[in-house]
Amino acid sequence: MVRGMTIERSWADRENLNKNELAKLEKDGLEILNELDRLAGMKYEDIEAFDIERMKWAGIYAQRPKDGHFLVRIKLTSGELTADQADVIAGISRDFGEDSVQITIRQCIQIHNLTLPDIPEVFARMKAAGLTSVEGCGDVPRNVLGNPLMGVDPEERVDTQPIVRETVRRLVGNPEYSNLPRKFKISISSNPHDCGFARINDVAFVPAEKEKDGVMEQGFHMFVGGGLSSDPKLAKKTGFFLHPDQVAPAAEAVAAVFREYGYREKRNHCRLKFLVEDWGIRKIEEAIEQITGPVERGGRTVSGSWNRGCFFGIHQQKQDGLCFAGVHIPAGAMGPEDLEEFARLARKYGSGRLRTTNSQNLILIDIPEQRAAELKNELIFQKYPLHPEAFSGYCSSCTGDQYCNFAPIETKKRLQSIVEQLDERFPGLRMPVRVNLTGCVHSCAHPQLADFGLTGGRRKINGASKDVFRLTIGGALGPGGAFGTTLKGWLPADAASDAIGDMTQYYLDYRKQGERFFRFAEREGTGVFQEILDRYTQAEVNA
């Protein structure tokens, strides 16, 4: 439900507002929801440019090439999905989306190749199924990221289901927060393994505990100002200790601070991370408390090793006698018939509930323990494994040039080829190695957080234009985690698996027992990895 539109825009008189800001002052993005039927009857080339931009507020995004085809981004709050909803999504994909279903890195589902005349029927089907794409894109609060096992996770300190739902209720479709300086990303998780990727979000809440009168209270610590792209920054920790019922109001307060004080001049300098960097954490805290009132402080963050957002295999839930099954979806992409099959299995073996993950995978929940062995024998798991290989199971990619207007290269097929070659070179490797491939500097596939992060481009080598990568190594979240280091030179794309394979072999030869790659790279330094990379960059240049 979209609320009334009469909202004071305190920044309206600022000098040097960028063109997007001027257009948003003229007409709020949410107003496009009342105009979709009109736009559906128009030719693409006749639609005003900023109405195309405002369609993002409806979760509709012009895809590449800009010829009247769009994607719709269906928001699944922390990955919540029912079997009935999955069937509706599959039907939309089959009828309008050329059989393409993609799980995104923020737990959404995207359907591509829609045309404007499709939109009324697509939205009617989504509404009937309790699905929404409202504010799937645009300068708004995006999908609330979190623990895909919320409510069933044996390791969660607090069930975050009511928290994320209250956060969505306060923010989504609310014109008080529909005109932010840029996108606003929220993460809420009470799992200690940072499955919500807290420190790359604008505001994030992680599990914390604090002793009071001999009793250990469970709550949250809050981070603000994270983000990637070409100027990545890790979110900074506030001093607050928040009780569960304070999380949604705190998230709303951060959105309000961002709205009132965030930068609106240079478009590439408008994310919250730049305000936090300039103000410092103490001033940010003061601005938040002017809205919320005084907030308790202290406590201890509860954290363990980073799980990369992956939950593969069959494991016990916190409910006695029930299990969940984590499934690998290569590149996060499947056909509608596969999504329908997962929906059938969710009904047959469980309660009809599924979850999407920010590692672009899928989880079936509420499976009775006595039926787990039967579930494993289903044929779908030959295509989508419960226990994937060390490379192919832990990789991520963006959409690439098939649909994205920014990426100069293809990503999904390329990444699958790279990781399959690496799995073949290192059969039986038990230590996961994370390879992320992103098509451009916007970092949608998180190359800064991978063991090996590939950022695509095009360069002339020996007179011919070729696909190439910048290679970043040693990124991770969790305790001791940091952004990876980008090596010098452009790696020819067809040499990527060989170069990463050589670096992996060096790691396996010289690591300490149980040492993860990011720790090894930190201890070893980048010198030897640069030498390995140079073999491939120099060989190509001198060929």
What CATH number should be reported for the domain holding residue 499?
3.30.413.10
Could you report the per-residue pLDDT of 358-393, keeping only the tens digit for each?
Answer: 999 999 999 999 999 999 999 999 999 999 999 999
**What are the strands, taking DSSP E only, across 91-202?**
101-103, 109-115, 145-146, 186-188
The pLDDT of residue 542 is above 60: no
Separation in Å, CA 462 to CA 256, 489, 528: 52, 15, 26
Nearest CA among 383, 480, 405, 399 for reference residue 445: 399
Pairing state between β 236-237 and 485-486: unpaired
| Residues 196 and 270 placed together within one structural domain of the fold | yes
425 sits in which H/E element:
helix 412-425
280 and 204 together in one domain: yes
Identify the domain boundary among 386, 413, 435. Answer: 386
Residue 471 placed within a domain: yes
Per-residue pLDDT, averaged over 8-27, amounts to 94
**For residues 351 and 364, what is the distance between their CA atoms, to the nearest angstrom?**
9
Query: With bands split at pLDDT 50, 70 and 90, how would you rate the model's confidence at 4?
Result: very low
Asked if residue 488 is part of any domain, the answer here is: yes
Report the alpha-carbon distance of residue 447 to residue 398 in Å, rounded. 10
Report the alpha-carbon distance of residue 365 to residue 190 in Å, rounded: 18
Decide if 469 is inside a domain: yes
Q: Is 292 within the bounds of a domain?
A: yes
Asked whether the beta carbons of 421 and 501 are under 8 A apart, the reply is: yes
Among 97, 128, 159, the domain boundary falls at 128
Please check the confidence at residue 229 and state whether its pLDDT lies above 70. Answer: yes
Statement to judge: residues 177 and 120 lie in one domain: no
Among the listed residues 325, 362, 359, 330, the one whose alpha carbon sits nearest the alpha carbon of residue 89 = 362
Residue 463 has pLDDT above 90, yes or no: no
pLDDT beyond 50 at 184: yes
**Residues 402 and 524 placed together within one structural domain of the fold:** yes
Domain count, the chain: 4
Mean pLDDT value of segment 343-351: 98
7 has a pLDDT exceeding 90: no
Q: What is the DSSP letter of 141?
A: B
Q: 222 and 254: one domain?
A: yes
- For residues 331-353, give the mean pLDDT: 97
Looking at the DSSP assignment, which residues form a beta bridge with residue 398? none
Summarize pLDDT for 49-98 with one digit per residue, the tens.
Answer: 999 999 999 999 999 878 889 999 999 999 999 999 999 999 999 999 99
Q: Which of 434, 399, 440, 483 is nearest to 229 (CA)?
A: 440
CA distance 197 to 200: 6
Strands 322-327 and 362-368: antiparallel
Cα 413 from chain centre: 20
Whether a cis peptide bond, with omega within 30° of 0, leads into 65 is yes
Question: Once rounded to an integer, what is the mean pLDDT over residues 98-115?
Answer: 95
Q: What is the CATH number of the domain that holds 329?
A: 3.30.70.3340
Whether 9 is in a domain gets the answer no
Share of the chain above pLDDT 90, in %: 89
- Asked if 71 and 112 touch (Cβ cutoff 8 Å), the reply is yes
- Two tokens, residue 433: 């190695």
pLDDT band at 242 (very low <50, low <70, confident <90, very high): very high
CB 111 within 8 A of CB 335: no
Find the mean pLDDT for residues 232-251: 97
Q: 120 with 175, same domain?
A: no
**Single residue among 386, 409, 428 that ends a domain in this structure:** 386
Q: Which residue has the tokens 């099954």?
A: 325
Report whether pLDDT(281) > 60: yes
> Do 476 and 336 fall within a single domain?
no
**What is the model's pLDDT at position 1?**
39
Residue 133 within any structural domain of the chain? no
Looking at the fold, whether 524 and 426 belong to one and the same domain comes out as yes
pLDDT for 200: 96
pLDDT surpassing 70 at residue 540: no
Question: How much is the pLDDT for 543?
Answer: 40
pLDDT above 90 for 236: yes
Confidence of residue 538 (pLDDT cuts 50, 70, 90): low
292-318 average pLDDT score:
96
The verdict on 77 and 156 lying in the same domain is: no
> Do the domain assignments include residue 8?
no
Domain assignment present for 3: no
Cβ-contact 171, 204 below 8 angstroms: no
pLDDT for 539: 53
- Mean of per-residue pLDDT scores for the chain: 94
pLDDT at 461: 78
CATH of the domain at 67: 3.90.480.20
pTM reported for the whole predicted model: 0.95
> What's the whole-number mean pLDDT along residues 272-292?
98
pLDDT of 3 over the 50 cut: no
Residues 407 and 529 in one domain: yes
Same domain, 218 and 353: no
pLDDT at 403 over 90: no
Tokens of 522: 């930190």
Same domain, 118 and 153: no
- Between CA 500 and CA 505 the distance in angstroms is 9
Report, as an integer, the average pLDDT of 339-344.
Answer: 98
Domain that holds residue 226: 149-301
